[in-house]
């Protein structure tokens, strides 16, 4: 059965990615309101009650804001590691949720899907990216990372479709009217990946298998979609991977929908 990916929202105001394959459908993160998540799912023809999991990458509210409402309305099973669950439990209205606990680095199953959470460097308790494996495709979702470690590059090398952070243009960030401490956090090892850094990851891992890249978590004031897309497109063309499709993601609307052949 074919797989599909649609980034329902991405950016500092909220992140949520829809993945389906082999008859199962999940969300990676739910960082916009429950009502808006439902609306965007309906826009792509998905009943929220049909979701089999919400898998949470880390506890920051731009990845968790809709979890409580979605669980209370639809009883969608929730998955996270222990440290993330502890962090979420400190947020208003999020205590007492019934979690399925996974261990970072150990795959778990949601119906026919195998989901592997892997460690990423970010300023959260135990942040992870995810690789979702089905009978036909492998999909990677990894945002909020300050650097791409060897582990991250190894996990992403097997993907057919990939959601990867392109948070900022380095020149725009340096020139932005932001506190220096914030700039240092973003540029640090536990901060966020730039357009240039993301393109370097793709240059290393891309091969004939990778078909689709979604550019995610773009800063509203330190990046522009055309800059992120140009950097990535120049890289895939220069390295001979013109078969790869590139799509931007947005905070206020859904992305294009990728479907495997």
Q: Is the pLDDT of residue 106 over 90?
A: yes
Among 36-40, 154-158, 177-181, 195-199, the range scoring the smallest mean pLDDT is 177-181
Model confidence at 147, pLDDT cuts 50, 70, 90, reads very high
Which has the closest alpha carbon to 79: 46, 48, 47, 114? 114
Among 109-123, 138-152, 177-191, the range scoring the smallest mean pLDDT is 177-191
The pLDDT assigned to 176 comes to 87
CA distance 55 to 73: 17
Model confidence at 20, pLDDT cuts 50, 70, 90, reads very high
Model confidence at 10, pLDDT cuts 50, 70, 90, reads very high
3-state secondary structure of 109: strand
**Domain span at 165:** 4-259
Q: Is the pLDDT of residue 189 over 90?
A: no
The pLDDT assigned to 141 comes to 98
Mean pLDDT of all residues in 106-113? 98
CA distance 190 to 8: 25
CA distance 229 to 36: 26
Instruction: Name the H helices within the chain.
Output: 34-43, 67-74, 82-89, 150-156, 170-175, 180-187, 195-205, 225-238
Model confidence at 149, pLDDT cuts 50, 70, 90, reads very high
CA distance 216 to 34: 20
Mean pLDDT of all residues in 235-260? 97
Q: Is the pLDDT of residue 92 over 90?
A: no
In the sheet with 53-55, reading across from the earlier edge strand, the strands are: 99-101, 78-80, 53-55, 24-28, 16-21, 4-9, 257-259
Which has the closest alpha carbon to 12: 62, 54, 61? 62
Contact, 49 vs 24, CB < 8 A? no
Mean pLDDT of all residues in 67-73? 96
Contact, 160 vs 260, CB < 8 A? yes
Q: The domain spanning residue 84 has which CATH number? A: 3.60.15.10
Contact, 123 vs 169, CB < 8 A? no
* Mean pLDDT score across all residues of the chain: 96
Q: How many structural domains comprise the chain?
A: 1
The pLDDT assigned to 26 comes to 98
Q: Is the pLDDT of residue 102 over 80?
A: yes
The pLDDT assigned to 100 comes to 98
Query: What is the reported pTM?
Result: 0.97
Q: Is the pLDDT of residue 1 over 80?
A: no
The pLDDT assigned to 111 comes to 97
Model confidence at 177, pLDDT cuts 50, 70, 90, reads confident
Write the DSSP symbol of residue 168: B
CA distance 7 to 26: 12
Contact, 261 vs 13, CB < 8 A? no
Chain centre distance of CA 154:
17
């Amino acid at each position: 059965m074919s797989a599909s990916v649609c980034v329902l929202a991405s950016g500092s105001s909220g992140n949520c990615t829809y993945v389906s394959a082999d008859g199962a459908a999940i969300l990676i993160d739910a960082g916009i309101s429950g009502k808006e998540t439902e609306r965007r799912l309906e826009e792509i023809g998905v009943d929220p009650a049909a979701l089999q999991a919400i898998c949470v990458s880390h506890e920051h509210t731009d990845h968790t804001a809709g979890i409580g409402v979605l669980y209370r309305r639809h009883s969608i099973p929730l998955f996270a590691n222990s440290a993330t669950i502890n962090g979420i439990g400190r947020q208003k209205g999020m205590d007492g949720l019934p979690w399925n606990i996974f261990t970072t680095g150990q795959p778990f199953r949601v119906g026919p899907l195998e989901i592997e959470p892997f460690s990423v460097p970010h300023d959260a308790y135990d942040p992870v990216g995810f690789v979702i494996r089905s009978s036909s495709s492998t999909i990677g979702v990894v945002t909020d990372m300050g650097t791409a470690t060897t582990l991250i590059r190894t996990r992403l090398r097997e993907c057919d479709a990939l959601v990867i952070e392109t948070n900022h243009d380095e020149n725009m960030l340096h020139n932005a009217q932001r506190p220096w401490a914030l700039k240092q956090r973003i540029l640090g090892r536990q901060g966020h990946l730039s357009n240039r850094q993301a393109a370097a990851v793709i240059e290393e891992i891309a091969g004939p298998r990778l078909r689709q890249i979604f550019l995610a978590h773009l800063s509203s004031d330190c990046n522009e979609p055309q800059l992120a897309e140009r950097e990535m497109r120049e890289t895939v063309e220069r390295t001979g991977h013109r078969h790869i499709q590139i799509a931007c993601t947005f905070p206020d609307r859904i992305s294009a929908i990728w479907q495997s052949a």
